[in-house]
Chain A
């Protein structure tokens, strides 16, 4: 089975840095994804980690430790438009392509 855990809610201040953690326990692993979802909209892709380490994309970075079953998404220079839900997802290994999501973290950015 697969279990993916994220904090339910977080609050941060505009201009600050916030780290959203994700821990997972899965029978297989073939990549970890982070998605952003604004209220009433579809999820959009942010980042992908399959090897240990840090992936940086502009203001967003994502880190993976496969041995610890742990990832985080780092958002720098927070803007009001970053208020959204952030979803962590794990892909199963092999050829199944099965993609399971955590419950999501709702981030509120305050002025």
Chain B
């Protein structure tokens, strides 16, 4: 069972570079989420989606963009990487109950 798959697991970016964090789920869930987690802190919601073609901002959307062209995929785009975006990023999906999480992407911006 694949569940929620995130790639890459680790990445180092230079300031000003761009990248896309990939997230795919095979459970046919409508809801998908992107969170970031800084050391010793909880999860902060970046963006979320209630279905294909529909996305909305969370608590900390600045510096990020998302798209949801299919039910399965929910990529997160960083256009101009900044040191403040150094964090662990988690993607999650849910139907109408609990959310299932990917294993995370550890991103460092130097």
Contact = CB atoms under 8 A, between A and B. Distances in A.
A100 to B, nearest CB: 6
B64 interface: no
Nearest to A31: B97
Contact of B45 (A31, A33, A44, A98): A98
B90 A97 contact: no
Interface stretch (B16-24, B67-75, B76-84, B100-108): B100-108
A87 B90 contact: no
Contact of A33 (B33, B42, B99): B99
Contacts of A95: 50
A97 B48 contact: yes
Interface of B: 30-31, 33, 35, 40-45, 48, 50, 56, 58-59, 90, 92, 94, 97-104
Interface of A: 31, 33, 41-45, 48, 87, 89, 95-104, 106
